[in-house]
Structure 1
Amino acid sequence: MHKTFLVWAALLGGLAVILGAFGAHKLKELVPMETVSTFQTGVTYQFYHVFALLAVGILYAHIPTPQLVWAGRFFLIGILLFSGSLYALTLLKATETVGLRGIGAITPLGGLFFIAGWVALLLGVLRK
């Protein structure tokens, strides 16, 4: 299981670099600055939790607890919901798509998964 989290961390880390470069260079031509800031928040939190996934993968090799597996899963879901919803909001703004603005309600749910991941990581480390 630890290798799976390391693979996901590598893939999502590379994607964060690509998205961050896009946000820094091209996105400001397409959307207002506050939307660029929203996008950048998604990239930043994706990066933070890529490092959390790396930690989970490395720790699981030494402390294989179910809580660490859940921590990794929660971090992955959190990235998808939190960062993904911010990317989707940016895309909607860039394409001037009407409707679906309620997608922003998903962002706090992603934040809850991030918190659950950190709690599970703590429990997994304390368990051994």
Structure 2
Amino acid sequence: MSTPVPPVPQSPLGPALAARLKRTADGLVPAIAQQYDTGEVLMLGWMDDEALHRTLTTGRCTYWSRSRGEYWVKGDTSGHVQAVKSVALDCDGDTILVKVDQTGAACHTGERTCFDADVLPLGLPRTDGK
């Protein structure tokens, strides 16, 4: 007698889209937010099926907060809203690109983007002796 397999929760995305996503072990997919008209990379957040579904149906970016263990809609508390212009999957289905119209800062530090405060130098010497 075989052990019954628990049913897989049905994704709110529908079977075709849900099957395309490659998730981390905790069910998340990285989501890059990019300013739609300039190409500026704003931030990286995490989405599960429900967060992506909410993003697609509401036109506002919804993420899963790994630190708080809850969904958050960008701008609900700060007013720095991300209005969704388009959503795409990369060729492997393991990264989501959300093109947005960002109002105000995207970074929780108050900066426009999460990637302009700590630019790393190029051309560092190798440390492996080669």
More strand by percentage: 2
Give the TM bin, normalised by the shorter chain.
under 0.3
TM value normalised by structure 2 = 0.25
Larger Rg: 2
TM value normalised by structure 1 = 0.26
